[in-house]
Amino acid sequence: MRALSVTARAYILCALVAAVCCALPALRPGAGTPWTTTALLAAPYAACELLGRRPFLVSAVRVGAGSFFPVLFAAVLLLPPSAAALVAVPGALVGHVERRPRAVRRAWRAAQLALAAWAAAHVCTFLDGGASLGGGAVGAAPDFPYVLLPAGAAVLAFCLVLTALDGGILCTAERLPVRTAWRGLLLRSVAPHCVHGLAGLMMAVLWRSPYGALAALFVLLPMYISCWVFAQYHRERAAHQATIRALVQAVDIKDQYTRGHSERVGRASVMIAREIGMDEERVEVLRFAGILHDVGKLGVPTRLLRKDGPLTPEERRIIELHPEYGHEMVRGIGFLGEARAAILHHHERLDGSGYPYGLAGGQIPEFARVVAVADAFDAMTSTRSYRRARPVGTALRELERCAGTQFDPRMVEALTRALARQGWHHRVTSDEQSDPRGNVPPPRGIDGSCGPVPGGDAVPPVAAARSHDPGRPT
């Protein structure tokens, strides 16, 4: 959630009002709410979420939200719907939140979990889940295997509600297109929710057994172990991010003219990928590709990257080796996957006249076609010390003019749609701050046909004629 739009605020407010309406019946006098069970479930859930705000055991990574859902699933099976909704609220309000605005995110999370628990408990009640657990009598044997039906249906309902609400917030707050906001959410969440649902069923069965609530809480121990494994995964992921940041910083230090360019190309690549409906796991790898696409410049002599005048043909050939240098540098980094192909081929052209290998059409990897468009767009819309940035509309027209010869038309269309909906927030680079008066030298260089700027980013040369020095890599 960046700056929340009016639609996002209204969506969150509606969810909060609905959650309050779902929980209110439990507070009415004479409702018969089992407050002891409700409190005994709400307290450990809140305690677990509080622990999740601290680094987990010896790991520097916090436990993620949703790690203690078995408590909520036990509440769904043991309590009336309104009471089950209440169990989720304290833990959601005290849980760890990564980004701001934290108060809004916690309130949203509380409403989301309350609605999901309420819906799941209604499904469980409809299928006589309470009776299948022993009908409320302490020590009564659960009705296996029938009890798996209401428990499974409750888990599915919980998962569906969370997925529906998550997709809605992606549309309203993150501004994803409606046709892609929900794509893949349900499939990614079903398996973990089923595992948590089985643990929740185990808690509910133990709760109704002669051993009582204390024995049920021991189910949380294996959940802590699974959280530890999950934390190790995130620690490794954090190490990946640190590796990429170090490489990008090295490129930015060496090539002062394009500082900030890599991050923006990564951001534009993600916008294109989400617009064409790419799977989120591939989107993350593509972001790495966009960020690292110019890492090969570390192998290019600094004097060429910082040269003020036009490059000689020999100097251009040296700079055109940077995709191959980059590919060699990241060859052994396994988590980059498809990103390595994008680093190698992001200067290929659809008509086969690009470099380093002259691939054409479908021979060019999909990631490389995305990065090529993102790279050219940011090169045209960025201010350098030797020329002004072009307006977004002008840059898009140049991309459209060269679509089909230099760029993949599908990727150009996706970027155009994404920018029309989300806009482009261009961060000021260090080069743009170099002159406190904001003075920028007039543009230099003239060219006339679609083609890559020698030695630089794949900028359509009509744009180059107005905003780019063809002797300078971007």
For the stretch 212-223, pLDDT in tens is 887 787 877 776
The number of residues in the chain equals 474
33 confidence band (pLDDT: 50, 70, 90): very high
d(CA 109, CA 107): 5
Which tokens go with 30? 């004479």
Residue given tokens 């889940």 in the structure block = 129
d(CA 175, CA 252): 30
Quick check: 44 and 71 in contact, CB under 8 A? yes
Position 54 scores a pLDDT of: 62
Half-sphere exposure of 419 (CA within 13 A, CB side): 24
Residue given tokens 């299948």 in the structure block = 132
Q: Between these two residues, 323 and 1, which has the higher pLDDT value?
A: 323
- Mean pLDDT is highest, among 135-144, 248-257, 439-448, 461-470, for 248-257
Position 273 scores a pLDDT of: 94
Position 304 scores a pLDDT of: 84
Residue given tokens 């707050």 in the structure block = 173
Q: Which of 50-59, 119-128, 322-331 has the lowest mean pLDDT?
A: 50-59
pTM of the model: 0.57
136 confidence band (pLDDT: 50, 70, 90): low
Query: Is 50 exceeded by the pLDDT of residue 59?
Result: no
Residue given tokens 């909520």 in the structure block = 72
d(CA 370, CA 349): 12
What is the share, in percent, of the chain residues with pLDDT greater than 90? 42
Query: Is 60 exceeded by the pLDDT of residue 434?
Result: no
- Mean pLDDT is highest, among 42-56, 59-73, 114-128, 257-271, for 114-128
Q: Between these two residues, 386 and 340, which has the higher pLDDT value?
A: 340
Four-residue CA torsion sign, 454, 458, 462, 468: negative
d(CA 371, CA 428): 21
The residues near 39 (Cβ < 8 Å, ≥ 6 apart) are none
Which tokens go with 473? 């890599």
Q: What is the DSSP letter of 289?
A: H
Query: Is 70 exceeded by the pLDDT of residue 388?
Result: yes
Quick check: 348 and 362 in contact, CB under 8 A? no
d(CA 171, CA 282): 20
Average pLDDT score over the chain: 81
Q: What's the rounded mean pLDDT across residues 157-183?
A: 88
Position 80 scores a pLDDT of: 94
Q: Contacts from 32-41 at CB under 8 Å and sequence distance 24+? A: 33/80, 33/82, 33/83, 34/79, 34/80, 34/83, 37/78, 37/79, 37/83, 37/207, 37/213, 38/75, 38/79, 38/83, 38/86, 38/87, 40/213, 41/71, 41/74, 41/75, 41/78, 41/79, 41/87
Position 389 scores a pLDDT of: 82
Q: What's the rounded mean pLDDT across residues 218-239?
A: 72
The residues near 257 (Cβ < 8 Å, ≥ 6 apart) are 305, 306, 384, 385, 386, 431, 472, 473, 474
Q: Contacts from 417-424 at CB under 8 Å and sequence distance 24+? A: 417/177, 417/275, 418/271, 418/272, 418/274, 418/275, 419/271, 419/392, 421/175, 421/177, 422/175, 422/271, 424/268, 424/381, 424/392
Q: Which of 171-175, 327-331, 424-428 has the lowest mean pLDDT?
A: 424-428
H/E segment holding residue 213: helix 212-217
Position 387 scores a pLDDT of: 63
Position 430 scores a pLDDT of: 37
Q: What's the rounded mean pLDDT across residues 235-261?
A: 76
Query: Is 50 exceeded by the pLDDT of residue 109?
Result: yes
Q: What's the rounded mean pLDDT across residues 239-251?
A: 80
Q: Which of 128-142, 308-322, 369-383, 418-432 has the lowest mean pLDDT?
A: 418-432
